[in-house]
Amino acid sequence: MMTDIEQLAEMAQQLGCKVFRNEPLNEHTTFKIGGPCTLMIVPNNEISLSALVRFSSEKGLRTLVMGKGSNMLYADEGFKGVVFLFDNTMDMGRIEQIDDRTIRAYAGASLMSVCRKALELSLSGLEFAYGIPGTVGGGVYMNAGAYNGEVKDVVSSVTAMDRRGNLRTYNDSRLGFTYRGSRFNHTDEMIISADFTLTPGDKTEIEAKMKDLIGRRKDKQPLEFPNAGSTFKRPEGQFAGKLIQDCGLRGCTIGGAQVSEKHCGFVINTGGATCSDVRGLIDHIQHTVQDNTGFELECEVRIIPYE
């Protein structure tokens, strides 16, 4: 008799989805860390996803949604359960123009590609996100932001799927955006798509701003090493990177994990870092900064346990 996981895998294949068993998660995260997941499914559209989600819920299977894995740290043992991977190879990554000010992007589309679409349409407002390495789903989930801009500034509505496979659309007043957070941090819904309402602008000026911001990222951030972006949320009235630097932690290393010498707000994988290395370094940074400054640094990276 097939297990529930095996039945789900067979169902996904019959629906035309990509299916991977014991897929290494370090190949799907920007940290390049994490053991295998029991099952990974790349949904081809919302209809297939709805059936798979409903079956998973009925059987009580542990599930997780991810995009580019740019803000995730998986356990060295991996993930015991089902990972739904939203990427840009299927319908879950499409981008559509709704009207002369609105772009609808599905959860698997990269924020970079949405920015390029906005540029193509001479729409301004998304320039801040050019260079953020995540997907639309992840960007909405954590209200991604940079350079004085946040997702909440440009998202007018989000469509999500509940664990019964039903779709529901929320307008901006019901999205519960906070600093690096949204309503979806507190529900079991999966983000399906987001509508970005932007402002008509000058294409040359939009492109110039995008190039300026991505140039600043390359100059200031350790993009040459695997990392998960800013490791800590910005504490009120301060900058995490400056606090870490002032505590003498620049270059501090545990195993293959290191406080970046280029930007102390980033923990990087210098090669062969494990989840244990990164977590150990995060704990050391938090304790050192609190002991020396009184500030409590809150980790921005999602740490996903094995089970």
Q: Determine whether 23 is an active site residue.
A: no
**Catalytic one of 180, 182, 189, 260:** 180
> Strand 190-197 to strand 102-106: parallel, antiparallel, or no bridges (unpaired)?
antiparallel
Q: Determine whether 6 is an active site residue.
A: no
Q: Determine whether 180 is an active site residue.
A: yes
Contacts (Cβ under 8 Å, ≥6 apart) of 247: 288, 289, 292, 293
Nearest to 154 by CA among 142, 141, 168, 140: 140
Contacts (Cβ under 8 Å, ≥6 apart) of 283: none
Sheet of strand 79-85: strand arrangement: 18-24, 36-42, 79-85, 63-66
Asked whether the beta carbons of 190 and 65 are under 8 A apart, the reply is yes
**Catalytic one of 230, 234, 260, 279:** 230
Residue 80 phi, psi (nearest 5): -85, 95
Q: Which contacts (CB < 8 Å, 24+ apart) does range 271-278 have?
A: 273/31, 273/32, 273/33, 273/226, 274/33, 274/76, 275/33, 275/34, 275/73, 275/74, 275/75, 275/76, 275/303, 276/76, 278/31, 278/33, 278/73
Nearest to 112 by CA among 96, 126, 123, 92: 126
Nearest to 71 by CA among 27, 126, 135, 146: 135
Helix (H) or strand (E) holding 215: helix 203-220
**Catalytic one of 122, 124, 276, 300:** 300
Active site residues: 180, 230, 300
